[in-house]
Structure 1
Amino acid sequence: MSDPFLVVEDLTVKFPTEDGLVNAVTDLSYTVEQGKTLGIVGESGSGKSVSSMAVLGLHDMRTARITGSIKVGGQEVVGLGESKLRKLRGKEVAMIFQDALAALHPFYKVGSQLAEAYLVHHPKASKREARRKAIEMLDRVGIPQPDRRVDDFPHQFSGGMRQRAMIAMGLINDPKLLIADEPTTALDVTVQAQILDLLQDLQREFNS
């Protein structure tokens, strides 16, 4: 059996407030093997998003106090420098956020944002190649007429389509681990089922 790709041990995340330190996550431990799915369940405010963001080093280290260990592919994330974290994000680990409308920049076309995410890890690629990759990913997540919709702005997409676009952005660099932070919360029940089915299909396709 191969070693787990993600190993979280005794993770504790605290934030300072006027009333003192608040424990957002306390002594959390779990592992995830590549190709497997782990669901983390908890009520609102239980620390699900906080712990997920810690895996990508997304907390402001000037305020957040993080102890314990987070290893991604054997590399320790806690205390890792920003430049190395940027290389990790998107390439090794990617995240689908709860609110796609907030995560997508309203002033830039969806395709441009996908292409930018691709170019971060493929700096030698041309803009044409990046655009072609964006269209390919929109097609793979089920966006109709991707060669046309690639030039739409986020507000021109429905809620379900925006979430599909966020999945496309998460997968555009073929990460080994994809974290989905309640990606169906803002969607109606029918679309929720479609998004969950899509994630399962893409997991099989990408073997991740």
Structure 2
Amino acid sequence: MFFILTGIIPVPTTPLLLTPTEARVVATLMEKARTVPDSYPLSMVALLSGCNQKTSREPTMNLAEAEVAEALGNLKDLALVRESSGSRVTRFEHNFQRGVGVPEQSAVILGLLMLRGPQTAGELRLNTERWYKFADISSVEGFLDEMLERSAEKGGPLVVKLPRSAGEREQRWAHLLCGPVDANAMGTKAPEGGNSTRLEARIEVLEEEVAQLRATVQKLCSELGLN
């Protein structure tokens, strides 16, 4: 990948193309950096668990450690992931925003699209609340439009607007980090039910609270020499 200098953020000059596994790995790192900072950077065990969790994921995956390790190697070559030093256990952190050359808000939107699949601007604003608080839906739409109109010199568009499905008032958006999408096929997919979405969000909050508590206990045990 080649870069041109634009201030402090390098901008890719060729389109970024990830595999679904690589997208899941880097997006999981992006999520956990925001939602469970006490346990971040992530160990391989924590990263694998995050990639395979059954809530807030579309599609759900059942990745093996070898698949995640291979994805990490490729992502490191793309400067999207790096290993963290200073720990007995190898840990990993993302470098997505700088590696792709986008502002924080765009990185947050892309991370959610990689984790949860196509979403409307309203859904993105709701789902990104724990990552970044957008002022309103128009703010989300502004960054989506910016990524849609991204010039070829910067690597081309990063998102696509899908056709409106029957019964839907808003169009959904999908990312292009894994290559072109079948807009017609994805546009006809039925949206998730509201009750199910709220339940999954609640489960996610509880899972992250447990992860935070676990990280705190591990840190205390380490400080007391109980490991």
TM-score (norm 1): 0.34
More helix by share: 2
More strand by share: 1
